[in-house]
Amino acid sequence: MRKNIVAGNWKMNLNRQDGIALVEDVLGKLPADNKTHVIFAPSFVYLHKVAKMCADTPKVVAASQDCSSNEKGAFTGEVSASMISSCKARYVVLGHSERRANFTETNDQLKAKVGQAFASDLKVIFCCGESLVQRESGVHFEWIKSQISESLFHLSADEFKKIVIAYEPIWAIGTGVTASTSQAQEIHAFIRNLLAEKYGKEVAESTSILYGGSCKPSNAKELFASQDIDGGLIGGASLKADDFLAITQSF
């Protein structure tokens, strides 16, 4: 059975105090029988603090929002995968559309980042997704296929078990426009089929595929009820404890 995961991508939001208060609030209200894997992805600056706060709660861990494609050295301002791992984070989010757009991250660079993450024992939440122009011109399937295959298909089936895919249509991120359940399910099924062709049914069936893009308490239940949607990568709604908590309990 694949994992149900809800990950909160805080982006460049919340200062240290507000971040700590949010995590305290969520941890304090998580039901004792919580079955969802919950991930907080705060800023690097207090990643260690958040990871430590999660340490005693089953199924709750921290992630970084990125890592360097280099192992170490003269890369001022960069943060390496081994630094992230030493802060007790368990995951790294890679290939978010904001990083692809604002920092011109390429599929090749992301392939290198995946390598760094694995070398430091981090699991990867790998983001993919199309723009509105690409969807409207019908190239979105090919685009998503190239994002996944160029950055991930060098991995062995065993390595692929450390990958979570997040499908995030760019036109739905932070816009308030959510992909319809059938639009999201269609792409998730396409991705799972792609994984089955490359790695076989077992890997495809055990890979968690998350949806991201204006996911909130009011639409999470319907989205998560879809056959191939195993949870969400949440931006805006992860900044409010009660909203994030409600999404984690929407399965």
Question: What are the catalytic residues?
Answer: 96, 168
Q: Is 236 a residue that touches ligand PEP (CB under 6 A)? A: yes
Distance CA 38, CA 59 (A): 6
Q: How far is the CB of 232 from ligand PEP (least distance, A)?
A: 8
Q: Per CB under 6 A, does 234 bind ligand PEP?
A: yes
Read off the tokens for 37: 């894997």
Q: Least distance (Å) from ligand PEP to the CB of residue 157? A: 27
- Site for ligand PEP (CB under 6 A): which residue of 173, 179, 187, 209? 173
Least Cβ distance, residue 125 to ligand PEP (angstroms): 10
Dist CA 224 CA 10 (whole Å): 21
Q: Of 233, 241, 245, 247, which one interacts with ligand PEP (CB under 6 A)?
A: 233
Nearest residue (beta carbon) to ligand PEP: 235
CB 23 within 8 A of CB 247: no
- Judged by CB under 6 A, the stretch of 75-83, 133-141, 167-175, 179-187 that binds ligand PEP is 167-175
**CA distance linking residue 147 with residue 116, whole number of Å:** 18
- Which range of residues in 28-36, 101-109, 133-141, 232-240 is near ligand PEP by CB under 6 A? 232-240
Looking at residue 185, its amino acid is Q
Per CB under 6 A, 168 contacts ligand PEP:
yes
Residue 215 binding ligand PEP, by CB under 6 A: yes
Q: Token pair of 74, please?
A: 């003269």
CB 62 within 8 A of CB 89: yes
Distances (CA, A) of 88 to 74, 81, 95, 112, 115: 24, 11, 21, 21, 18
Contact 53, 22 (CB under 8 A): no
From 40, 212, 224, 241, residue interacting with ligand PEP (rule: CB under 6 A) = 212
User: What is the DSSP annotation of 155-168?
Assistant: S-HHHHTTEEEEE-
Q: Enumerate binding residues for ligand PEP (CB under 6 A).
A: 9, 168, 173-174, 212-215, 233-237
